[in-house]
Structures are given as structure tokens and as C-alpha cells.
Structure 1
Amino acid sequence: METLVRFNRTTKAAVAVAALLAATACGSSDSASSSSTGLNPPDLKAQSKLGKTEGEVNLIAWAGYVEDGSNDPEVDWVSDFEKQTGCQVNTKTAASSDEMVKLMKTGQYDAVSASGDASLRLIASGDAAPVNTDLVPNYADVFSGLKQQAWNSVDGTAYGIPHGRGANLLMYNTEKVSPAPTSWSAVFDDAAQYKGHVTAYDSPIYIADAALYLKATKPELKIEDPYALDQDQFDAAVDLLKKQNANVGEYWSDYLKEISAFKSGDSVVGTTWQVIANLAEGEGAKVKAIVPKEGSTGWSDTWMLSAKAEHPNCAYKWMDWIISPKVNSQVAEYFGEAPANSKACDETSDASFCDTFHATDESYWKNIAFWNTPIEQCLDGRTDVKCVPYAKWVQAWTEIKG
């Protein structure tokens, strides 16, 4: 089976950021529920029971998440769903989180496979509805580390069904980088020794990687959450990335280009995903990928239900289907991520797959700071300062790249 990895997630323009800020700032006591994080989503109610399926469902998804055999005849978990439920699946593939947010605002889609850098925007703006997990039987077998997290819930209310997760790793050329790195300093403070051969992920969310490093190396900044940065903390992260820029040979968003760069030697150290490291090594690159001692950032995707869904019953059926053990294992292997369902590991075609992707190792994931959406209300609970919102991250990323 051909492996399809995560496509370009580079955030481009600050689409719908103004709507996020307005949504997080507005809301009277009549229309919004109070949150310990300061996030005040509209007071929407989750569906109480399933009704008759509507005959179709309109999805927004990352490439590789909704496969019906048209890309590869051997890769199809949609056709059986359609046969069993009578729900015809219509899919819009999105190339970025910003595009997903924009599409969800049209009200033309029933559900979306949102990453953490989009999910809070959808919750805050009222575009995502709370989800009744009792209507999703397979939710019971989702790893506990994915339930009720900061990017998919607010004060105990679930806003989606976890799909899978992955870590952003440090990859290095084992022949050209010596001694073997154990810290992100290899791409930050010590990057000059690999000048022109350092690579970094091309997205504003990468600012969190710098913040995570500073959390460990500059305790005086008092960074608790790399997605909750006050102005001083944010400025320090941006300054670090501007210094890094002088040593970066290429910012990557296309996995094929990163593989090629490590094979050719154009890149010798930088951020990556486990599946890219596997593919690069399989193609002869002398590489190794690790979680450095400071930990790593990462991503966890969530199927979220539109508050305007025209086909909510089919959407619920889809959310349960996509995390059922067999299907979740198929998606995880095809896409290259750890599955969400704890029983999926018994269904993988590669017996070592879940070990490679640390699917069952909750201690591994405790060192991963999953993507979240930066907002003015500090996600770490501080109320005496304002944190830098996502719009400013986008602006800063343009400045960092120069």
C-alpha cells in the first residue's frame, strides 16, 4: 500500500482570525457559557439522540482521511460506510487549517477533520457544535490521552471525536551531525554549525516550537504553555526564530521536498514527522528522528460537527465509523499517524506499526505539546495579562522569514 502523508498545512493568510477574536471577546451571559480559560463559546446544545439518516454527508478533510478507492483501488473505507448507512459521502479536501475554518463558516459542510490550530477558532465562533459522545459508541475505546483535551473540549464539553495524533520530531543526518543531538539547540542556539542545512516547518504554528525550547532553556520567561505567550514571551520566541532564519536552508511544507533534501544532504537537521523519517530512511537517507529532551510539539486531529449541519445523523455515523478499530487502523497506516482507537492496533497490517508510532505509550505523549489555537485569553489560565492571538503569529511568521 502506498503511504500518503500529511500534505501542506502551512497557514497562509489570517483567514477568519478577526471572527475568532470577536467571538472570544463577545457573548453575554445569556448567549455564552463561562470558561475557566476565558473562552466563551456560544451556548449550543449537543444532539440528544440519533434520528433517521439523511442520505448524504458533506465533509472537509485532510488528504488521505476520506478514501473511497478513487486514488488507490486498494484503499477504500468509504464504500462500506455508504453501503451500511445509506449516507453518500461528499468530500472537500483542504490544504490548510485556515481553509478548513473558512469552509466551515459557509454552513455547507457537516463535519471537518480539524487540527488543534483550527479547532478553538471553530468552537469560539460557534461554527462547531458540542458532540454527544454517547451517540458515538466507538468513543469508549479512544485513548484517554485524547479525550477532553484543551483543543477539543471546553470545560468538560466535548466538541469533537479524536481521529489520531503525531509528534513533530527532530531529524538529523547520522553521518553529518555529530555528536548525535539530544536537544532542540541543534536547530536554535547551535544551528550556526549547520548553516544553510537547517530545515524548519513552514507555518506560524512553528513559533510554538521556539517557545517550547525557551520554556526549558530560559526559565526566567516563565513560559508554561507554548501556545499561551504574553508579549514578552512571544517576542523572545520570534527573536529566536529570526536568529535561526540565518541558518535555515529551506522551510518545508511538502514532505517529498524534505525527503529529497535529506537524501541529497541539502538538509542535515530539522523538524519532521515520524512517517517522513520512515520514508526517508527507506529511500536510503542516513537519518534518525527523536523527541529531544525538551519535548516536542505535535498534532491531534478531531472530527468536529458543524453547528449548521444539514445531515447531522449521517455525520454522527461517520464519526463513529472513522474511529472504529478496523477503519481507524487503515487510516492511520495510510496516512502515517498513531490511531485514536485503542483497539485499532490489533487491526494493523504491520504488526509493529503502533510501536513505531507510540500509539499506546501515553508516557510518550505526555512530552508532546499538541497544537492549539493562540487567543488573547491565555490558555494557561493567566488573567493578569493578554496573550498574543493567532493573527499576530501569522504576521510575525512573515517577518521571521524576511
Structure 2
Amino acid sequence: MKKRYRALPAMAAAAALVLAGCAADAGSDGAGELTFDVPDVPTLEEKGDYEDAVDIIAWSGFVEPEWADVFTEETGCVVNRRVAGTSDEMVQLMRTGDYDLVSASGDASLRLIVGGDVAPINTELIPNFSDDIVEGMKGQLYDTINGKVYGIPIGRGANILQYNSEIVTEEPTSWDVVWEADSPYAGQITAYDAPIYIADAAVYLMHHEPELGIENPYALDEDQLAAAIELLQQQNGLISEYWSDPVAQITSFAGGTTAIGTSWEILRKFAADDKFKGTLPVEGSTGWSDAWMISTESDSPNCAYEWMNYTSGAEVNGKIAMNFGMAPANGAFCELNDEAAAHCEEFNALNEEYFEQVWYWTTPIEQCLDGRTDVQCTSFQEWTDAWVSVKG
């Protein structure tokens, strides 16, 4: 089948994630305030007949028979799912050109955009991308560049501080219990195993060492990155284990290896024990927001666009959110029934004040995302190299 999008070469060194451009009066939350030079990838102008199938890379729980089979019945598009375990895996798979869609988190999306791997999306062809999509998930820097939308929101969540209340008997109000050398829980602390976790250290430093001048935890110059790495190396001596597999993290808490550390909101429920609690400390936290992104080499753009529209509807988007354990992107889901309302309340779906404390994962790049032009910020490759030094 003929490709609908022409594959473009990566115009920059994608591994180093160099986005050149100029910034004007940028803050931490305005995608439209920064301008980047990125590959000129065409946008689908109008939809045609559905193809035979759509190939999707997704997080576990995002593409399930309960709603995928209905989609196939309605459109004739067979849904082929490839589950990925990490953002790095998603990026690698998308660069093969074998997939139409990916459910990308913010630590992958800019890599895909700058590499020319994903195309801008014509939101007029996605009716469910409407006023019902919560405002806090629209126009974010990780998936909206130069006024062009590259991602259709799916759901979001905060990286919370989870703890075993039988060991941590008072609810912690600060992340200091996992960062400071005198933590009473040394040897019982868990942390997320990925370079993007460097941003968690930066969030802590923003609050406790303002003289470093960190305004955005994903926009670190060399000195700021060095400070974050120093803090991470200090924490390394306190860590019982790093986790990237949610099941392993649950097992660590349930087995007593871990008493406190970074977690996703849903994981304390999966531990199936009321003694596991979670909180959003005073410093705020990092978090994630996932979005559908379409490949520049999609063989099935019509099926892909319809999948993005279908899964953005209140009912299906809510099913995905409940299945995965996150806040849905479509706020109308919260009004469907009592179960939906309870889920939305638990995950703060409509609570923008809560999510204003959350710094969504965003790929660090050399152009400073906080708008500074007098320094060069560190790239994701530099973060990756630094993470190796943290773990030793």
C-alpha cells in the first residue's frame, strides 16, 4: 500500500536532540511561546476510505479487545497492538516505520517530533478533540510545537510519594525523606529507573535551592544538571532498588524491601493493601501525560485518525483511563455515572490546581525550554550519560 506520508531524514542529530530556534518571553507552561526549527512534515488534509488495519504501539492497557473489537466492527480496521514497556522502546519501534500510531509520553514525544518520526495532526478531522478535553492537556510543550498539534491527549498522572504507613507512621509532607542523607528510611527507598528521573531531583532543588535558578526541571544548564546529579548520587546511597517495571515496584513494597519512594498513583491500589498510601508533597512532582501520535510513514492514516477520534470520546477514553489507572483526557467521562465520577475524583481528573503542581515529562533539549537564550541547556543524551554515572 502506498505511503501517505513521505519519510523525512532526521534533520538534526536526533540522538543529541538539538532543536535550534529562538524563544521569546517563555514560561514553563506555554508551548506557543517557543519557536523551534523542526522537520517540515505534511499534515493529512482530508480523510478517505478506511484501510484494512492499523498498527499501534501502546502502553499495556491502552488497547484492549473490549473497545478495539468494537472499533473494528464499526470501521473494518483491524487493530494490531504492540505493547511497549518503556518510552525508549516506543521511540525505537516508531523509527522502524512499521507502525501507524504510538501512545507517547512526554519523555518520548519531542524525540519523535525532532526526528521527523511523527506528523502534525489535523484536529478538524478529530471531532472528539473538543471542549471536553481538559484544558490542562491541550497545548503542552511536549506535543504542541510552533502552534501545530502533534498529540491527541489520552490521560495523565502524577509521580507521587508512596509509602508503607506501618513504617512511615506520619504522612510525609516533603520529598526530603527520599533525598536527604539523614533520611530515617535509608536502605528502604525506591526511585524510578530512567534518565528522566533527573527532573525529580531538579523539582526538589527548585524548592530548596532557589539560588540555582531552576525554572523548569527539564531545562537545566550544565551547572544545574551537575547539582541535580550530585543530589542523585547522594540518594543512590539510600536506595534499596530502582524500578522501571510497575509489577516489580509493587512486589518490592508488598515484600517489605521498600518502605517509601516514587510511584504512580495506581500502583498503591495494585498492592492490594490499605497500608500503602500516597501523597503529593509540598515541592510538587513530575508526572506524565500520554498522547496518540501518528507516524509520518503511516500506511493507514484514515484508520489511525478514526482510532484517535474513537478513543477520544468520553466513554472509550474513560475505559482506557480506568483500565490503566489515570485521569482521563475527556472530562465529560466524569459525568457519565457514579463509577466514572468516583474514578475522576480519585485521580484528580478535573482538578487543575492539583496538576498545576505537576511537571509533565518533557524531553530535555539544548534549546532551553524555560526561554533562556544566554546559555545552552543540556540534552536528553547528556541526561542519559549522566544517569549512568548516578547508578555507577
Match of 1:325 in 2: 314
**Equivalent-residue separation in structure 2 for 1:213 and 1:22 (angstroms):** 25
Aligned mates of 1:144, 1:394 — CA distance in 2:
32
Once the two structures are TM-superposed, the CA of residue 350 in structure 1 deviates from its matched residue by 5.2
> Of 310, 321, 324, which residue of structure 2 is paired with 1:335?
324
2 CA distance for matches of 1:106 and 1:279?
Answer: 34
- Once the two structures are superposed, the pairs formed by residues 1-400 of structure 1 within 5 Å of their partners are 18-21=13-16, 24-25=19-20, 37=34, 39-68=36-65, 76-140=66-130, 141-189=132-180, 192-280=183-271, 283-284=272-273, 286-347=275-336, 349=339, 351-400=341-390
- After superposition, the C-alpha distances for 1:226-266 in whole angstroms (9 at most, x for unaligned) are 01100000000000000001010111122223223223332
Percent pairwise identity: 49
**Structure-2 separation of matches of 1:279 and 1:299:** 19
Deviates more, 1:132-141 or 1:255-264: 255-264
Aligned residues of 1:23 and 1:41 also touching (Cα < 8 A): no
Paired residue secondary structure (2:14): helix
Provide the alpha-carbon RMSD of the alignment: 1.9
Return the letter of the residue paired with 2:121: V
Output the amino acid matched with 1:130. P
CA shift digits 1:258-297 (9 cap, x unpaired): 22322333211101111111222xx225122111001010
Change (3 A) 1:235 1:21: same
Question: How many positions carry a matched residue from both structures?
Answer: 370
Contact 1:204–1:397 (CA under 8 A) maintained in structure 2: yes
Higher mean C-alpha displacement, 373-382 vs 347-356 = 347-356
- 1:304 aligned counterpart, secondary structure: strand
User: Taking structure 1 as reference, are residues 376 and 265 closer, same or farther at Cα in structure 2, changes over 3 Å only?
Assistant: same
3-state SS of 1:272 partner: strand
Deviations 1:105-124 (A, max 9, x none): 12221111111001001111
- Displacement of 1:174 in angstroms is 1.8
SS in structure 2 at match of 1:77? helix
Q: Which segments of 5 or more consecutive residues in structure 1 lack a partner in the other structure?
A: 1-15, 27-34, 69-75
State the alpha-carbon separation in 1 of the partners of residues 267 and 187 from structure 2: 21
1:76-114 C-alpha deviation (Å, 9 max, x unpaired): 110110111111111222121111111211222111111
C-alpha distance in 1 between matches for 2:15 and 2:355? 28
The answer to whether the Cα contact below 8 Å between 1:114 and 1:301 also exists between their aligned partners in 2 is yes
**Post-superposition CA distance 1:330-360 (Å, at most 9, x none):** 1111111111111122346454111000011
Cα distance in structure 2, aligned partners of 1:208 and 1:238: 10
Of stretches 49-58 and 124-133 in structure 1, the one that deviates more from structure 2 is 49-58
Structure 2 distance, partners of 1:310, 1:390, is 30
The 3 A distance-change label for structure 1 pair 132 and 251 is same
Residues 225 and 379 of structure 1 are in contact (CA less than 8 Å); yes or no, is this contact kept in structure 2? yes
Distance 1:227 1:324 in 2: 31
Aligned-partner residue type, residue 251 of structure 1: Y
Q: What is the identity, as a one-letter code, of the residue corresponding to 2:54?
A: V
**CA distance in 2 between partners of 1:339 and 1:191 (Å):** 38
Per-residue CA deviation, residues 120-153 of structure 1 (Å, 9 max, x unaligned), is 0111111111101111111102111101111110
Give the 3-state SS of the residue equivalent to 1:187 in structure 2: helix
TM-score (norm 1): 0.88
Find the aligned partners of 1:278 and 1:217 in 2 and give their Cα distance: 31
Q: Distance in 1 between the 2:259 and 2:371 partners?
A: 38
Q: With structure 2 as the length reference, what TM-score do the two structures score?
A: 0.90
